[in-house]
Structure 1
């Protein structure tokens, strides 16, 4: 018995929505990064005590601002704060 495979050619119309979706997602990601970068710059206006309240230091801001323009600096800040919290928790477990 022979098996036949019927390869149908994908019409171009079905690929257009995928391209449009990717383009729209790229624009949305860039806009989100721009908005978050504006909010990030407001963190620079906070005092050191206020930054410490949210688990950041002024040096963390200097590290996060070095990310390329199209990327979101708040994601870098989140990673820094999470690492610091994990380190503090590990140290607390060793002491206790």
Structure 2
């Protein structure tokens, strides 16, 4: 085998693990999104007072569920809660 032949075979060998990694990551991300979506639906069973205790409103749930099915709604929910906490903190600094 010459150097040229070996060099032309190398990319095929290194490409397979990269493709396998992409496939495994896609499956893992889909499973995580499905699992988090199930947990998200349990938030809908909470009362408004319980949601308020964790810094959420029922409207936040409606906004977060509008993400596409393959996406994780808890990421959007976390962003909403974080923005609200930052706003409240900013208002507290202005008052104090």
Please give the TM-score of this superposition, normalised by the length of structure 2: 0.90
- The alignment status of 1:52 with 2:52, answered yes or no, reads yes
Aligned residues: 90
- The alignment status of 1:72 with 2:72, answered yes or no, reads yes
1:13 CA drift (Å): 1.1
Structure with higher helix content: 2
Equivalent runs, 1:25-64 vs 2, <5 Å: 25-64=25-64
**Other structure's SS at 1:87 match:** helix
1:38 CA drift (Å): 0.3
Computed over aligned residues only, the root mean square deviation of the Cα atoms, in angstroms, reads 1.2
In the alignment, structure 1 segments of 5+ residues that lack a partner are 1-7
